[in-house]
């Protein structure tokens, strides 16, 4: 069970930004962000602060219950980016409005979460056109 206080804590801690792709919640006000289990419940992930993150609906949908993915460069199975343990800027960088993976973890996460799907790039382009900085 996840109570409202725990949800509120996760949302506050994330500062209203998806902890995977850094999309600001304000950019898509109609679509609610999800408080998600970093390690899914079906893998035994507990409902505690250290296993919860704020994710946009795009990241949440593509991540599903996955905890690992293939690095498209090496073909190696690697863990997904873990917002509580990993620093975003160690694993990702912006190339214009695209997110690029700097590490095997970053590349695997960008690919599995479809972070550069055209619809998502379009959302970022619109944000930039409105003068909003891309978070991160
Ligand atoms: Zn996201």
pLDDT reported for residue 135: 64
Please give the structure tokens belonging to residue 88. Answer: 């975003």
Spatial distance between the Cα atoms of 14 and 19, rounded to a whole number of angstroms: 7
Antiparallel, parallel or unpaired: β 52-55 and 68-70: unpaired
pLDDT reported for residue 1: 63
Asked if the model's pLDDT at residue 136 lies above 60, the reply is: no
pTM value? 0.94
- For ligand 1, the distance from its centroid to the CA atom of residue 91, given in whole angstroms, is 15
- For ligand 1, the distance from its centroid to the CA atom of residue 119, given in whole angstroms, is 12
Per-residue pLDDT tens digits for 17-57? 999 999 999 888 787 899 999 999 999 999 999 999 999 99
Q: Residue 81: left if φ>0, alpha if ψ -120 to 50, beta else—which one? A: beta
Spatial distance between the Cα atoms of 108 and 112, rounded to a whole number of angstroms: 6
Per-residue pLDDT tens digits for 88-118? 999 999 999 999 999 999 999 999 999 999 9
Give the lowest-confidence range in 2-6, 17-21, 105-109, 130-134: 130-134
Of 56, 51, 54, whose CA–CA distance to 67 is shortest? 51
- For ligand 1, the distance from its centroid to the CA atom of residue 74, given in whole angstroms, is 24
Of 68, 78, 73, whose CA–CA distance to 38 is shortest? 68
Spatial distance between the Cα atoms of 97 and 82, rounded to a whole number of angstroms: 22
Average pLDDT, the chain: 94
């Amino acid at each position: 069970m996840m109570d409202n206080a725990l949800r509120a804590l996760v949302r506050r801690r994330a500062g209203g930004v998806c902890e995977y792709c850094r999309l600001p919640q304000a950019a898509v006000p109609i679509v609610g962000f999800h408080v998600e289990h970093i390690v899914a419940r079906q893998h035994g992930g507990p409902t505690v602060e250290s296993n919860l993150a704020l994710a946009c609906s795009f990241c949440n949908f593509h991540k599903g219950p996955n905890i690992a993915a293939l690095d498209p460069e090496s073909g190696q199975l690697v863990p997904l980016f873990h917002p509580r343990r990993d620093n975003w800027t160690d694993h990702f960088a912006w190339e214009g409005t695209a997110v690029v993976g700097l590490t095997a973890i970053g590349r695997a996460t960008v690919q599995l979460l479809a972070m550069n799907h055209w619809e998502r790039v379009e959302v970022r382009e619109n944000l930039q056109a409105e003068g909003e900085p891309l978070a991160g």
